[in-house]
Amino acid sequence: MPLTCNIDPIAHADHTDITQGLSQNPASISPKYFYDQQGSRLFEAITQLPEYYPTRTENALMQQHASDIARSVGTGRTLIELGAGSCQKARTLCQLVQPACFVGVDISADYLQDAVAALSDDLPWLDARAVGGDMTQGVQLPADIPRTGRLVFYPGSSIGNFDPPHALALLAHMRELIDDDGGLLIGIDLPKDVTVLEAAYDDAAGVTAEFNRNVLRHVNRLIGSDFDVDQWQHRAFFNADASRIEMHLEALANAQVRWPGGGRAFEQGERIHTENSYKYPLPVFTDMLARAGFAQAEAWTDERGWFAVVHARP
């Protein structure tokens, strides 16, 4: 059985963070609150959608350049995946680079624990651990995880969910997690045609819309609010000035939302900003890596130039 350092994400969810975000104009909810069990399941369904190219493109890249990536990364490492989710990408990478140990970290702790248990069943030779927690509060690893030979794995272009200053701070934190012999293997979604981008975040089957609205159910449980989820619709569009996809929830009618100790009114058409997904040109991103302490970067991109996998080293 994998060891779980079960840090209850609800205990870490700063109620003030959520209620302050909701009280702003415009209101916002951090995308980390997407991921209760249902949110994790919905994200997994998104990765299967025809419009959602990032997972498919990143997986194909990892397969196409498997031997180069394996040579660059090396075997026998301590593999630490941040935001590991279903551990699907870790499964492929573990088979490729045979790490000495795998540690999955995720805010959706129960979902992660099941995923790591399934990974352990499939790869019985692997020492696999699950660590539940919010990585934006600092990644806390079990004390017996060696510092040397670490490879931090951060696929899925999840770094794009942070605005550039916070992305830089998170990359610098990843640098702190490794010694000079360590590395970071990270997936980056690159700028591309707006129609491709917008379809990926607003699919015809409405799965992304359901994922977006589910954040309100999770927030209702976390802070005791009374959002009527059916009264909010999904909005996703590319903001070219900021080079990011934005997701919002838009009120279908005037709404009064209450939570213990507070509340606010929303007018019809008013929005709650729930996610950004920044698209960085590769040179801009490698410059950010260098500023975070990763001076060397080896990158692989697909033929269309839609996505990059980067192995960065100090």
Ligand X SMILES: C[S@@+](CC[C@H](N)C(=O)[O-])C[C@H]1O[C@@H](n2cnc3c(N)ncnc32)[C@H](O)[C@@H]1O
- Per CB under 6 A, residues contacting ligand X are 32, 35, 40, 43, 47, 55, 83-85, 89, 105-108, 134-136, 155-156, 158
Q: Tell me how far, at minimum, the Cβ of 268 lies from ligand X, in Å.
A: 30
Q: Tell me how far, at minimum, the Cβ of 263 lies from ligand X, in Å.
A: 26
Among candidate residues 300, 248, 299, 282, the one with its CA nearest the CA of residue 31: 248
Angstrom CA distances, 240 to 28, 193, 195, 244, 307, stand at 20, 11, 12, 7, 18
Contact 201, 236 (CB under 8 A): yes
Q: Considering beta carbons, is residue 35 or 306 the nearer one to ligand X?
A: 35
Q: Which amino acid is at 60?
A: A
Q: Considering beta carbons, is residue 166 or 258 the nearer one to ligand X?
A: 166
Q: Considering beta carbons, is residue 84 or 215 the nearer one to ligand X?
A: 84
> What is the secondary structure of 116-130 as a DSSP string?
HHHHHHH-TTSEEEE
Which are the contacts of 122, defined by CB distance < 8 A and separation ≥ 6? 91
Q: Tell me how far, at minimum, the Cβ of 136 lies from ligand X, in Å.
A: 4
Q: Considering beta carbons, is residue 158 or 214 the nearer one to ligand X?
A: 158
Q: Tell me how far, at minimum, the Cβ of 206 lies from ligand X, in Å.
A: 18
Q: Tell me how far, at minimum, the Cβ of 120 lies from ligand X, in Å.
A: 18
For 182, the enclosing helix (H) or strand (E) is none
For 243, the enclosing helix (H) or strand (E) is none
Q: Considering beta carbons, is residue 9 or 266 the nearer one to ligand X?
A: 9
